[in-house]
A and B are shown apart, each in its own frame.
Chain A
Amino acid sequence: QSVLTQPPSVSAAPGQKVSISCSGSISNIGNNYVSWYQHVPGTAPKLLIFDNRHRPSGIPDRFSGSKSGTSATLVITGLQTGDEADYYCGTWDRSLSGAVIFGGGTKVTVL
């Protein structure tokens, strides 16, 4: 069971919007930056968002991130079939001698 809690799945039609939540605690999200990754099984994960809300070059602005307190959210607008993937939040956790932790992942399905 992951320290960071994500919904197992979300779905929407092409062109619509989905939001993925990531819930943690004061020892992780509450005191550290959050990143988001897109992972198509069989390929390398891709960094979508870093430092809560910043996009690496090449990531479209359809992907946006935010953080409030001990939770973070990834929003995908203008959903495309190519967005079908697993999405993971990640951050540093200062308990357990410190570690990078990930959420359990959320499967995005484009209907």
Chain B
Amino acid sequence: QVQLVQSGAEVKKPGASVKVSCKASGYTFTSYDINWVRQATGQGLEWMGWVNPTSGNTRYAQRFQGRVIMTRDTSISTAYMEVSSLRSEDTAVYYCARARTAANYDFDDWGQGTLVTVSS
């Protein structure tokens, strides 16, 4: 079965960077884009962008452009999402999610989430 397993919780200071990983199994990694969605405490879901595992092409939500980098390593079926210049408002649970189709507007499998806490 499809599994997306994310790296563990992180605590970072304001201004630092964090890199979260998402290891895929149970399907051909290069066949589906990986999206990243976050949920701040008490808030709803917020889409951040996607990475195409085959080409490495990315698309980011406008508000994250310049501060987020999404990459992948096909040799180990793993996608990564790095956020720089962290601020307290970035404290959230970050999820990776597999796009259901190439249109990339809905997601049929999700990782377990990674809590990133930004605190001085």
Binding site for B on A (CB under 8 A): 2, 32-33, 35, 37, 39, 43-47, 50-51, 56, 88, 90-92, 96-105
Count B interface residues, CB 8 Å: 22
Q: Is the CB of B45 within 8 A of A47?
A: no
B110 neighbours in A (Cβ, 8 Å): 44-46
Interchain residue pairs with CB less than 8 A apart (29): A32-B105, A33-B105, A43-B112, A44-B111, A44-B113, A45-B37, A45-B97, A45-B107, A45-B110, A46-B110, A47-B100, A47-B108, A51-B106, A56-B108, A88-B45, A90-B45, A90-B105, A90-B106, A91-B105, A98-B59, A99-B61, A99-B62, A100-B104, A100-B105, A101-B47, A102-B45, A102-B46, A102-B47, A104-B44
Summed over the interface, the residue pairs from A and B with CB atoms below 8 Å come to a total of 60
Task: Tell which of B62, B97, B113 touches A97, judged by Cβ atoms closer than 8 Å.
Answer: B62
Given A44-B111, A44-B112, A99-B62; A37-B105 close (CB under 8 Å)? no
Question: In the assembly, what is the distance between CA of A108 and CA of B28, in Å?
Answer: 35
Query: Residue B95 at the A interface, CB < 8 A?
Result: yes
Say whether A37 contacts B62, CB under 8 Å: no
B117 within 8 A of A: no
A107 to B12, CA, bound (A): 31
Chain B residues near A51: list those with CB within 8 A: 106
Given A37-B45, A50-B106, A50-B108, 20 other A-B contacts at CB below 8 A?
A32-B105, A33-B106, A35-B105, A43-B112, A44-B95, A44-B111, A44-B112, A44-B113, A45-B37, A45-B45, A45-B95, A45-B97, A47-B107, A51-B106, A88-B45, A92-B103, A98-B59, A100-B104, A101-B47, A105-B44
A92 and B105 in contact (CB under 8 A), knowing A45-B95, A45-B110, A50-B100? yes
State the 6 A-B residue pairs at the shortest beta-carbon distance, nearest first: A35-B106, A44-B110, A100-B47, A92-B105, A102-B45, A105-B44
